[in-house]
Amino acid sequence: MQIKTIGESEVISYENDEYEVMFSTAAKGTSYNISMPDTKLKLDDLARKLNLNKISYLKQIHSDKIVLLKKDDNIQGQVEGDAIITNLDKLAIGVFTADCVPVIAVDTCNHVIAAIHSGWKGTINNIVGKTILKMQTDFQCKVENLKIFIGPHNKVCCYEVSEELIMQFKSNDMFENQPINQDRYLNLEQCIIAQCTNCGILQQQITTSDYCTFCSTNPIFHSYRKDKEKSGRQISLIYLK
């Protein structure tokens, strides 16, 4: 892991000879809020700097809907969903967050990548587990070849929710024996790890982040809980080399 600058963006990068995973920060106020008119230009510029054709993304709706990108459709923001899977070359796929959990999956053996937006609604509906299953059924991925990256988000230190929501999570059999809360503070990361291990993914295949979007100061992040409607957005993306 390294923190580096690409153009105007500071990113947390996990990179090797086969792929690069990037989670942007809020350094210098850089934001990828897709509702802002200059964001598509920023994404096009970022794609050029990475020597890619484009960055594809969805109209996120806090769902468990998974979109398969098997041909070079221009789906950028036009298709609803919260996870995208592709095996196309010269393409990055990404999700936008400002407290929700960005999850990236990569299988370099089968040349398949996935980007997932997992807020509490997506998490309770097992969007990560369902995406892993789609990678297996539609792209013939094997769980032993997958690497999972869980990016910066509102972590258990700061993610206070209602008792009703805690009980809703605890009523799910998958989380029955998992340490998913500290009083009224929900641990979405632990829920997502449980979804991964339920699919057969081992702990050593999962990389997590130490950064909380709400309270981390170095680097800093956009946080909707902290800044409300003024909040910007991070982008989390993956591409194969």
Encode pLDDT of 105-144 as tens digits.
Answer: 999 999 999 999 999 999 999 999 999 999 999 999 999 9
Residue 72, pLDDT score:
77
Beta strand 91-97 with 101-107 is unpaired
The confidence band for 94, taking pLDDT boundaries of 50, 70 and 90, is very high
Average pLDDT, the chain: 96
Q: Does 86 have pLDDT greater than 90?
A: yes
Least Cα distance to 235 among 17, 60, 53 occurs for 60
| Contact of 112 with 82, CB cutoff 8 Å | no
Which CATH number is associated with domain 2-153+206-240?
3.60.140.10
Encode pLDDT of 161-174 as tens digits.
Answer: 999 999 999 999 99
Residue 74, pLDDT score:
83
CA–CA separation, 43 and 63 (whole Å): 24
Domain ranges of the chain: 2-153+206-240
Residue 144, pLDDT score:
97
Residue 71, pLDDT score:
86
Q: Which ranges in the chain belong to alpha helices (H)?
A: 39-49, 120-124, 127-139, 163-170, 188-198, 224-227
CA–CA separation, 129 and 35 (whole Å): 29
SS3 180: coil
Q: What percent of the chain has pLDDT over 90?
A: 95
Helices 127-139, 188-198: axis angle to 10 degrees equals 30
The confidence band for 183, taking pLDDT boundaries of 50, 70 and 90, is very high
| Contact of 52 with 33, CB cutoff 8 Å | no
